[in-house]
Structure 1
Amino acid sequence: MTNSSSRIIICPHCTAANRVPTDRLGAGGKCGKCHKPLFAGSPIILTSANFEAHAARSDIPLLVDFWASWCGPCLQMAPAFEAAASQLEPLMRLGKLDTEAQQAIAGRYAIRSIPTLIVIAKGKEIARQSGAMPPSAIVSWARQFAGMGA
């Protein structure tokens, strides 16, 4: 259990849990295990190997872009989602999940149309939005849910 003065942040590289003082989240920080940056200002690639760590163990919400390589609107929104990451970190982690490569996870979230954005906090879906959006709309929509993981 974390207290209000620190947050558990999952490393995007090795999935180690790192306790970071809340007032130092914006300072970046490095993983205590692999020594790589905890935040890079870009979405991480989510797979069956790292999804649960980021979705359930982190104290910051996870914003997931469910997409596929054959989806025109998904490809069109990709740069917008990338741009949103630099504005939303460290309030939340952004991740991209390829629905073709990760069909079990996509099925678990009943993804019926793509692109679909889902905010997950402590393993629970707290918001969902389908359809391509520009960066400002992604940021505005997602900020409503910042801090819900704690």
Structure 2
Amino acid sequence: MVGCAACGAINRVPASRLSADGKCGRCGKALHDGEPAVLTMENFAALAERSDVPLLVDFWAPWCGPCRQMAPAFSAATAQLEPALRLAKLNTEAEQGLAQRFGIQSIPTLVILHKSRVIARQSGAMPTTAIVAWAQKALSHRGVTNL
């Protein structure tokens, strides 16, 4: 099951076709477009609760210098981690309820979620290589080895 960031639909995608250029059955948009999804209250359930693919969320804010500095590194990590791990950005100013739900007190903060459960959490800006290594290590400790 893979959630669509555009419309929130859940799509059944066989594991063997997860890396293919799949499109949402409802809206027709790409399920993985090489860029982090924009996480909102509207698509949160599809991406973080109902999807079988773990979700790496970058909690950030437009006024945060380290967040802006890390943005290109997070985008670059998408190419290395998707489709086995979905990446998304959550603007803590626009989605304060979700930021509070996960107890975000400093930004940038990266959180890996699977079925709404926190798998790992890391605060502070990181380069692409560190993001990828941290995510792979966190998931391997939880038994997720498809990265």
If the length of structure 1 is used for normalisation, what is the TM-score?
Answer: 0.90
Distance 1:33 1:70 in 2: 35
Q: Deviations over 1:56-111 (max 9, x none)?
A: 00000010000011111000000000101111110111110011111111011111
1:109 and 2:102 correspond: yes
Structure 1 counterpart SS, 2:26: coil
Structure 1 counterpart SS, 2:77: helix
Count of residue pairs the alignment pairs up: 142
CA RMSD of aligned residues (A): 1.5
Structure 2 counterpart SS, 1:28: coil
The amino acid of 2:53's aligned partner reads I
Identify the residue that residue 28 of structure 1 maps to in structure 2. Answer: 21
Distance 1:57 1:108 in 2: 17
Contact kept in structure 1, 2:111 and 2:121, CA below 8 Å: yes
The amino acid of 2:125's aligned partner reads A
Identify the residue that residue 99 of structure 1 maps to in structure 2. Answer: 92
Residue 139 of structure 1, CA deviation: 0.8
1:135 and 2:128 correspond: yes
Structure 2 counterpart SS, 1:27: coil
Identify the residue that residue 11 of structure 2 maps to in structure 1. Answer: 18
Q: Deviations over 1:10-32 (max 9, x none)?
A: 11211111111101111121111
Identify the residue that residue 89 of structure 1 maps to in structure 2. Answer: 82
The ranges of structure 1 where at least 4 consecutive aligned residues each deviate by more than 3 angstroms after the TM superposition are: none
* Percent identity of paired positions between Structure 1 and Structure 2: 60
Distance 2:64 2:18 in 1: 35
Residue 123 of structure 1, CA deviation: 0.9
Structure 2 counterpart SS, 1:94: strand
Identify the residue that residue 72 of structure 2 maps to in structure 1. Answer: 79
Structure 1 counterpart SS, 2:97: helix
